[in-house]
Structure 1
Amino acid sequence: MTKEDFRKILNLEEFIDIIKVETGDEKTKCIHIKSSRKKARCPECNNFSKKIHDYLKPSKITYLKNSEEETYLIVYKRRFECKYCKKTFTEDLGISSPKNKISHKTKQLILKLCMDRDRTLTAIAKETNTSVSVVRKTFLEATNNYPDNMETVPEVISFDETSTYTQEGLYSFVLNDPIHKITLDILPTRKKDYLIDYFLKVKNRKSVKVVICDLYRPYYEVVKICFPKAIFVADPFHYIKYVTKGLDDVRIRLVHKYDDNKRSKEYIMFKNRTNKSLLLKSFNETKAELKIKQERQEKYDKGLIKQKPYDKFNDYWYGTIKIKKNNRFVEIYRIDRLQEVLNMNSELLEAYNLKEEFLRITTHVKYKDAKRQLKEWVKQCYDSKIPEMVEAANTINNWINEIVNSFKDERYSNGFTEANNNTITKIVDRAYGYKNFKFFRLRTLVILHKSYSGGSRKNIENGQKHKNQFF
């Protein structure tokens, strides 16, 4: 391979001459380079100089891997003397920063790989032929100007927490813009006093109109103190979870009822995982499913897709599952299996119907009728005298005004936040946890924003995702 071939492979500038190429072993290659220019620009007065003062000792720079070979550049530099300002300076080949042993292109690759949630620092270090400390240092240098907190926030924001197990505590607090689907910030704790101190520093906090979060009393108090003009909206995902949990708790109680006879049909049916998922599954289509179905129907009508939209009733409930019967597997419709389980206990059937009624309200009822129908549902739960459903009804009744607020706009949900939490969980799991919260926060925000700039207030207000300004 000629020197010109190496220049093209390594993507070196035309003015860089390759002196020689040394191969240490099968996986290491050292390429000696120097500048072919006869003059250099003085950084002090910006004039060119041809007078060479002396030659520096060659420096070894880590470069990008080439065909899985570790590549190093042995750089020969000269020091020039400026005839105008009489200063001496070292020529710049554009390979690396002064006093830095890592090339610019290696740094760019490190920062690009740091945006990948599935790559750990160890994996990045191995891929770029560097060390974990170099990767960490490069990342922190790039995020040095990342904002520490939000000075302003949008009119609609959402709160949630995610388990991170950092040195700051078990839970981290996540602040999002659910309308434009942007993560605004991650805080080390969800404690009320800390959140109040943080949000009192927000300049436009009185212009916030809506705050969406789960049914957590400290969040409610934070909203009332820090955002006096905002309405508190309960997240549908969380309050529906209370109702489905009530149904599942009824099932669990029935399982324990037959603990003494684990061979009984009742124990086996109530314990079965497939039966559990059938019970908790919404029988009719939810808001999200209806929206997806409508979008797919429009695409199907326009001929953009060939497959018909998914029909939950026919495709799911009249789909078959395999069950073991008389020591052999047979196929049965899901709807028949569900009916068989419900017919085994009247209390379970009543709890299931209450769950379905609640889901019907959240899916089809308008804002003006929501409070009345929710109160009727709460009364039905009290009349049923099923302890688990009564407990769920108490929660719904205690937060009924905040739950009704979620009926005003279907966008008022923490769906984006829950999806983000999945990404954050994977980031934590890949690294087997983060002790340093500051580094965890920066890494997570960079991955979510796909940017090292931290985004601008203008982009967030206009609903634009952060553009990657680093590459």
Structure 2
Amino acid sequence: SHHNVSVNTVERQLEGLEDTFKPNRRWLPATIAFDDFKSGKFAQSEMSMILMNPQNHRTIDIIQSRNSRFMRSYFLSRYSKKARWSVRIVVVDLFEPYRNLIHDLFPKAIIVADHFHVVVQAYRALQSARLKVMKEYGPNTHEYRALKRYWKLLMAKEGQLDYLHYYSRRNFNHAYLSNQDVVERLLSFSPELRAAYEYYQDLITAISQRSQELLDQLISRPNLPTTMRRVKRTLAKHRQEIIASFYTQLTNGPIEGTNNKIKVIKRTAYGFRNFFHFRIRILVSLKTSNLMIRELSKKRTRPKAKVA
């Protein structure tokens, strides 16, 4: 309104960007990653997909739905067989339906499990173990209040806990304790909680040190709490994919950061009613492969300045 530009003019400009963000049918990078994000009513599951090159953090495209049938149709119609067969590495989370899809569409690619989603499995299991112990003690007990107040210390990396500074802790009769001492007292409330905590910390160590030996020890560890048995099964099922992540050192971290940007775009726009406009708005805000290729080609074809 301030610049005397109508809504129809803005929509025409947006529609003119379609060719700029059109994926190249004959090309895909050797390494790709995809992850879902909450898009709303545009998909049946309310989840859409973002396709990215994790090595240079360039967004390739935004896919309307994460449904397996929709994804299969998208890749078969948008990319040639040669482009799909050129993909060597696919970084993805632990969502099981993606596995068969990746093997069918990218037969020469290996699957790399994302570190973040591997650790999240153990994180949630440790939270469940903590809540279970709290319920056993009851809401009016010292143990319940301590586990509720200091839960973040249980989730922190063990090596980063402060053991030098001591503070008066109200939940422990105002005793002067370091963060490490508080964690030790919390673990003394339950052997099951201690076992879950140690498993969680060992998994973090295995991921950070990229230790295949420690990962195999976690897979074969007996007598685990109920909450951690599912994590153990997940590690065993995706063992090769996790080991592949140790060698490639690739994660879905860039996509997770992009997902946060998409949330901001949705919030500032108060939502979108049209997926086409939503997709274009995201791609305009992000560094995209096709846009960068077009910009580079324009720079190369620029005539040289004449020398006087």
Question: In structure 1, what is the equivalent of residue 281 of structure 2?
Answer: 443
Structure 1's 157 and 319: CA in aligned 2 closer, same or farther, altered over 3 A? farther
CA contact 1:150–1:185 (8 Å) conserved in 2: no
Q: 1:154 corresponds to which residue?
A: 29
Choose which of 164, 184, 191 in structure 2 pairs with 1:339. 184
Report the 3-state secondary structure (helix = DSSP H, G, I; strand = E; otherwise coil) of the residue aligned with 2:62: strand
- Match of 1:178, as an amino acid? P
Q: Distance in 1 between matches of 2:6 and 2:263?
A: 25
- Larger Rg belongs to: 1
SS of 2:272's equivalent in the other structure is: coil
Aligned-pair CA distance for 1:146: 2.7
- Alignment partners' CA distance in 1, 2:40 and 2:210: 40
- Judge conservation of contact 1:171–1:190 (CA < 8 Å) in 2: yes
Flag the 1:131–1:332 CA change in 2: closer, same or farther, 3 A.
farther
Task: Output the CA distance in 2 between the equivalents of 1:139 and 1:336.
Answer: 58
The aligned residue for residue 244 of structure 2 is: 405
Q: Using the alignment, how far apart are the partners of 2:43 and 2:225 within structure 1?
A: 41
Who is 2:200 aligned against? 355
Q: In the TM superposition, what is the alpha-carbon distance from 1:244 to its structure 2 partner?
A: 1.5
Q: Which residue of 211, 214, 218 corresponds with 2:93?
A: 214
Give the equivalent residue in structure 1 for 2:291: 454
How far residue 235 of structure 1 moved from its aligned partner, in angstroms, is: 0.5
- Cα 1:253–1:132 shift into 2, 3 Å: farther
Aligned equivalents of 1:365, 1:147: Cα separation in 2: 37
Which residue of the other structure, out of 123, 147, 154, is the alignment partner of 1:270?
Answer: 147
> Paired residue for 1:376?
217
Partners in 1 of 2:148 and 2:204 — Cα distance? 24
Paired residues in the alignment total 294
Check conservation: 2:168, 2:175, Cα contact below 8 A.
yes
Give 1:167's aligned residue: 42
- Give distance in 2, aligned partners of 1:332 and 1:205: 57
Equivalent runs, 1:274-353 vs 2, <5 Å: 275-284=150-159, 312=160, 316=162, 318=164, 323-324=169-170, 332-353=177-198
Aligned to 2:69: 193
Give 1 or 2: higher strand fraction.
Answer: 1
| SS of residue paired to 2:248 | coil
Counterparts of 1:332 and 1:137 in 2: how far apart (Å)?
Answer: 64
Question: Unmatched 5+ residue regions in structure 1?
Answer: 1-124, 285-311, 461-465
Change (3 A) 1:435 1:257: farther
Q: Deviations over 1:243-274 (max 9, x none)?
A: 11111110111122234xx22011112222xx
Alignment of 1:63-102 (within 5 A): none
Q: Is the 8 A contact 2:60 2:288 kept in 1?
A: no
Normalising by structure 2, report the TM-score. 0.85
- Cα 1:194–1:325, aligned 2, differ >3 Å: closer, same or farther? closer
RMSD (CA atoms): 2.9
- Kept in 2, the 8 Å contact 1:166–1:437? The answer is no
Contact preservation (8 Å) 1:278, 1:338: yes
CA deviations on 1:393-443 (whole Å, 9 max, x unpaired) are: 111111111111111122x11111111111111111222322211110000
Higher RCO, Cα 8 Å, sep 6+: 2
Q: Is residue 173–residue 188 contact of structure 1 (8 Å, CA) maintained in 2?
A: yes
The CA distance in 2 between the partners of 1:397 and 1:450, in whole Å, is: 36
Q: Would you say the 8 A contact 1:318–1:335 is kept in 2?
A: no
What's 1:61 paired with? Answer: none
Which one of the candidate residues 126, 148, 157 is aligned to 1:247? 126
Q: What is the identity, as a one-letter code, of the residue corresponding to 1:282?
A: K
User: Kindly tell me: are residues 444 and 335 of structure 1, through their superposed partners in 2, closer, same or farther at Cα, counting changes over 3 Å?
Assistant: same
Indicate if the aligned counterparts of 2:94 and 2:113 stay in contact, CA closer than 8 A. Answer: yes
Tell me the distance in 2 between the aligned counterparts of 1:351 and 1:459.
52
* In 2, Cα distance between equivalents of 1:187 and 1:347: 43
Q: Report the 3-state secondary structure (helix = DSSP H, G, I; strand = E; otherwise coil) of the residue aligned with 1:157.
A: strand
Counterpart residue number, 1:9: none
1:149 is displaced (CA, Å) by 3.4
Shift of 1:215: 0.8
Corresponding letter in the other structure for 2:191 = S
Change (3 A) 1:146 1:349: same
1:326–1:216 distance in 2 versus 1, CA, 3 Å:
closer
SS in 2 for 1:449: coil
Kept in 2: contact 1:166–1:433 (CA 8 A): no
CA deviation digits over 1:76-109, x for unaligned, max 9? xxxxxxxxxxxxxxxxxxxxxxxxxxxxxxxxxx
1:181 aligns with 2:57: yes
Structure 2 unpaired stretches of 5+:
300-308
Contact 1:162 1:171 in 2 (8 A): yes
Deviations 1:145-184 (A, max 9, x none): 2334342211011010000114334101110101001111
Q: What is the rounded CA distance, in whole Å, between the counterparts of 1:155 and 1:238 in structure 2? A: 23
Change beyond 3 A, Cα 1:324–1:131 = farther
Q: After superposition, give the CA deviation of every residue in 1:170-221 in whole Å (9 maximum; x if it has no partner).
A: 1011101010011111100011112112222423111111000001122111
